[in-house]
């Protein structure tokens, strides 16, 4: 079964073609990072307008990459992200998918973006003959710009949320801390780069303690970084302040980045290790944009007793390959949704 996946929930417009929830034939992502970089974050109205401009060319490019031409006969179904995400952005993807499903008479499957991140781990890397798909019970650490949660899957659609963030998502904390110390958006990759030059023990930032040990909280950590920067600079500009970052030296920026990154990543690794000891999963996967972090991968591999297969980094940040892959498993389990009934669900939860 060959599925066209469509994703537009935030600031990437993406289309991909995946066969049988495993074989990736095309993966096209048009990112808006250069547009939003000027504002230090995503501007929803700008994002929606930019999706409209590129969504059809992105879908055509994915079809051409997969089949050599735009060939609808080779597509068995369409999967589209209908939530969670920015309303205006989600609307462009879902309306496009609905229209194409109607025009080309294809079954349509709306899917959850956050769950989709987990399915990046079901895509076969093209250079690995010995690779195996994850097995159940499966422990998933989902860490992105909008979400931080630990989920235990007994089966594809039978899962339990062990814990989630009570305030900011971890990726959001990376983005905000980057802004405080004057590093470019998105914060994750720029903090990882600066951290490689810094001392991860230069500053001792706090780790939040939660009543449920699998819940997360990152807003205190972000505030601790801000307070520390204010005390280093001897000024208390309110957040966000470009003036504050300009007072830091390059080595202070690197040390703060490294110390923040260590605490943020240790927090999620501590909880993943604890859950892995308690629930004894067959596989552990990490998912979402922060899962692209090399530092997270190193730390986790060192701490867990089992081998982890990491998804390709470009499949961790937003893409449509994960949406097409999840769409395949949804299609095995349920009927397609009539196109006129596919609505956006900006606050959809797992």
Query: Residue 144 has which token pair?
Result: 């992105």
Residue closer to ligand KG4 by CB (options 281, 289) is 289
Residue closer to Zn ion by CB (options 29, 244) is 29
Spatial distance between the Cα atoms of 103 and 117, rounded to a whole number of angstroms: 28
Task: List the beta bridge partners of residue 263.
Answer: none
Which partner from the list ligand KG4, Zn ion, none does 5 bind, CB cut-off 5 to 8 Å by kind? Answer: none
Residues within window 313-342 making contact with Zn ion, judged by CB under 5 A: 318
Query: Residue 211 has which token pair?
Result: 């009543």
Which partner from the list Zn ion, ligand KG4, none does 216 bind, CB cut-off 5 to 8 Å by kind? Answer: none
Contacts of 77 (CB under 8 A, 6+ apart): 1, 3, 4, 106, 107, 108, 109, 327, 331, 336
Spatial distance between the Cα atoms of 95 and 97, rounded to a whole number of angstroms: 5
Residue closer to ligand KG4 by CB (options 278, 298) is 298
138-143 and 148-155 beta bridge pairing? antiparallel
- Backbone φ and ψ for 248, nearest 5 degrees, come out as -90, 145
**144 touches Zn ion (CB under 5 A):** yes
Query: Residue 47 has which token pair?
Result: 């994002």
Residues 1, 20: contact at Cβ < 8 Å? Answer: yes
Residues that bind ligand KG4 (CB under 6 A): 10, 144-146, 171-172, 174-175, 186-189, 192, 288-290, 292-293, 317-318
Residue closer to Zn ion by CB (options 58, 181) is 58
Question: In the bound complex, what is the minimum distance in angstroms from residue 172's beta carbon to ligand KG4?
Answer: 6
Residue closer to ligand KG4 by CB (options 77, 324) is 324
Which partner from the list Zn ion, ligand KG4, none does 107 bind, CB cut-off 5 to 8 Å by kind? Answer: none
Which partner from the list Zn ion, ligand KG4, none does 3 bind, CB cut-off 5 to 8 Å by kind? Answer: none
Comparing C-alpha atoms, which of 109, 74, 160, 33 is closest to residue 320?
Answer: 109
In a 3-state reduction of DSSP, which class is residue 127? coil
Which partner from the list Zn ion, ligand KG4, none does 171 bind, CB cut-off 5 to 8 Å by kind? Answer: ligand KG4
- With CB under 5 A as the rule, give the number of residues binding Zn ion: 2
Question: In the bound complex, what is the minimum distance in angstroms from residue 324's beta carbon to ligand KG4?
Answer: 16
Contacts of 311 (CB under 8 A, 6+ apart): 120, 121, 123, 285, 287, 291
Spatial distance between the Cα atoms of 15 and 338, rounded to a whole number of angstroms: 21
Which partner from the list ligand KG4, Zn ion, none does 327 bind, CB cut-off 5 to 8 Å by kind? Answer: none
Question: In the bound complex, what is the minimum distance in angstroms from residue 236's beta carbon to Zn ion?
Answer: 34
Residue closer to Zn ion by CB (options 120, 330) is 120
Spatial distance between the Cα atoms of 308 and 135, rounded to a whole number of angstroms: 11
Which partner from the list Zn ion, ligand KG4, none does 174 bind, CB cut-off 5 to 8 Å by kind? Answer: ligand KG4
Among 126-134, 136-144, 195-203, 323-331, which window interacts with Zn ion (CB under 5 A)? Answer: 136-144
Residues 45, 11: contact at Cβ < 8 Å? Answer: no
Interaction site with Zn ion (CB under 5 A): 144, 318
């Amino acid at each position: 079964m060959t599925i066209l996946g469509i994703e537009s929930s935030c600031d990437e417009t993406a289309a991909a073609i995946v066969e049988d929830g495993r074989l990736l034939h095309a993966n096209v992502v048009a990112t808006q990072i250069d547009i939003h970089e000027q504002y230090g974050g995503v501007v929803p109205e700008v994002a929606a307008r930019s999706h409209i401009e590129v969504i059809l060319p992105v879908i055509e490019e994915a079809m051409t990459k997969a089949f050599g031409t735009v060939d609808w006969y080779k597509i068995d179904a369409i999967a589209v992200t209908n939530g969670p995400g920015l309303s205006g952005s989600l609307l462009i993807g879902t309306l496009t998918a609905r229209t194409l499903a109607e025009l080309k008479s294809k079954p349509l499957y709306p899917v959850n973006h956050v769950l989709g991140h987990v399915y990046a781990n079901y895509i076969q890397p093209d250079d690995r003959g010995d690779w195996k798909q994850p097995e159940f019970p499966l422990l998933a650490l989902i860490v992105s710009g909008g979400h931080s949660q630990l989920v235990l899957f007994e089966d594809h659609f039978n899962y339990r949320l062990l814990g989630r963030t009570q305030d900011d998502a971890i990726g959001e904390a990376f983005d905000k801390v980057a802004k405080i110390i004057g590093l470019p958006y998105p914060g994750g990759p720029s903090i990882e780069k600066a951290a490689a030059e810094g001392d991860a023990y230069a500053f001792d930032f706090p780790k939040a303690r939660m009543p449920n040990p699998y819940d997360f909280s990152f807003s205190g950590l972000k505030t601790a970084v801000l307070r520390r920067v204010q005390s280093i600079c001897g000024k208390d500009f309110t957040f966000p302040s470009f003036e504050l970052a300009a007072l830091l030296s390059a080595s202070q920026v690197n040390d703060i980045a490294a110390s923040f990154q260590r605490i943020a990543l240790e927090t999620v690794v501590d909880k993943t290790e604890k859950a892995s000891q308690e629930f004894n999963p067959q596989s552990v996967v990490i998912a979402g944009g922060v899962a692209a972090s090399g530092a997270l991968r190193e730390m986790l591999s060192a701490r867990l007793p089992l081998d982890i297969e990491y998804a390709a980094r470009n499949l961790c940040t937003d893409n449509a390959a994960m949406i097409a892959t999840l769409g395949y498993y949804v299609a095995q389990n349920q009927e397609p949704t009539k196109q006129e009934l596919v609505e956006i669900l900006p606050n959809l939860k797992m």
